[in-house]
Structure 1
Amino acid sequence: MYPFIRAFYHMARARRMPKLTPFETHVSEHICWPWDIDLWMELNNGRTLTLFDMGRVGRFMRDGSREAAKEGGFGLAVAGASVRYRKRVTMFQKVKMYTKTVGYDDKFLYMEQSMWNSKGECCNHILLRAAVLDGRKMVAPQKFVDVLQPGLQSPPFPAWVQAWIDADNTRPWPPEKD
């Protein structure tokens, strides 16, 4: 089940934090609870993605995205991701998460998130793209951005982000069946 109480908690915390501009980084803290672990007594890979959701919820509360989405009638949906799992996160361990919007193009918004342990080691990192939806129809992110902050332009993508975008554009869709 989706952790709605946890999401509401992060929304409430974010409301009390200073506002962010669209490309600033949101920092949040999370705990690996017993219901987050897998058979190997560490943070489950699927729950890692859910915790990244929590970081984005706080981020969208702070930069005005939530209000802009409501005002414009937009929704956001994850449309692709590349995740690296590098360090174990065990039960009751605290992690600090960094969430930022990298930029956008004519199809997607791109976000980067990372989780860091108390030793300063990066445990997990994700680059994701989000589609902007108007009802069930995907629309250009600029429509959403114009509501969020008129005139805002995307910064250039870092080379590694552009390389991911380029590589993903060569991937067939739908995938081939055997």
Structure 2
Amino acid sequence: MYPFVRLALEYRRAKRQGRLTVDQTHECTLRIWPQDLDVFNELNNGRILTLFDVGRLPFGWQVGLLDAMKENKWGLTMAGASVRYRRRVHLFDKVKIKTTAMGRDARFIYILQTMYRAEEATSSILYRSALTDRNGIVPPQKFADYLGVPDWNPEMPEWAQNWIAAENTRVWPPVH
């Protein structure tokens, strides 16, 4: 089941913490519970993505994304992701999720999230997200303008640029 209670608690914490600028990092801390585990008694790889949601959605509120979506009647979709799983996470471990908007291009906003146990990174994901309206994808420039930071366009690291370039060569729909 989707962790609605966790998400509500994280929204409440985010509201107490206040707003962030689009280039700041949101952090949330979660405990791993039995419902988060797989048959190998470790944090399920699919659940990791769900817990990243719990960190990403309050970040969206803090930077003003949810307000922009409501005011402009925009939607939000994840258009791609690159995930790395590197360390096991077990029952009752406390994890911290850091969420950062890494940058944008003409169509997408790129969001980096990393999960830590103590100071050790356990998994990380780079999302390619798109704002949408009834006409399709909304240029990220409109979001930057909405926030009052029209020049926000940080240069992304080489590895992220390489992933973006590789995604642009990927065949869709897939051929089997």
TM-score norm. by structure 2 comes to: 0.95
% identical aligned pairs: 47
8 Å Cα contact 1:83-1:124 kept in structure 2: yes
| Cα separation, 1, equivalents of 2:148 and 2:134 | 21
| Cα separation, 2, equivalents of 1:83 and 1:3 | 21
SS in 1 for 2:39: coil
Summarize the Cα distance change of 1:16–1:37 in structure 2 as closer, same or farther, 3 Å threshold. Answer: same
| Cα separation, 1, equivalents of 2:77 and 2:8 | 19
SS in 2 for 1:80: strand
Q: What does 1:17-166 correspond to in 2, within 5 Å?
A: 17-118=17-118, 120-135=119-134, 137-166=136-165
Residue identity in the other structure for 1:85? Y
8 Å Cα contact 2:141-2:150 kept in structure 1: no
Residue identity in the other structure for 1:171? R
Matched with 1:172 is: 171
What are the Cα deviations for residues 19-46 of structure 1, in whole angstroms up to 9, with x where unaligned? 2110111111011111010000111000
CA RMSD of aligned residues (A): 1.3
Summarize the Cα distance change of 1:152–1:12 in structure 2 as closer, same or farther, 3 Å threshold. Answer: farther
TM-score norm. by structure 1 comes to: 0.94
SS in 2 for 1:173: coil
What are the Cα deviations for residues 93-149 of structure 1, in whole angstroms up to 9, with x where unaligned? 10011100001111110010101112x111001111101111472221222332233
**Equivalent residue pairs, number:** 176
Q: Return 5+ residue gaps in structure 2 as ranges.
A: none
Residue identity in the other structure for 2:152? Q
| Cα separation, 1, equivalents of 2:168 and 2:124 | 21
SS in 1 for 2:87: coil
Deviation at 1:150, TM superposition (A): 4.8
Summarize the Cα distance change of 1:150–1:116 in structure 2 as closer, same or farther, 3 Å threshold. Answer: closer
8 Å Cα contact 1:77-1:132 kept in structure 2: yes
| Cα separation, 2, equivalents of 1:144 and 1:73 | 12
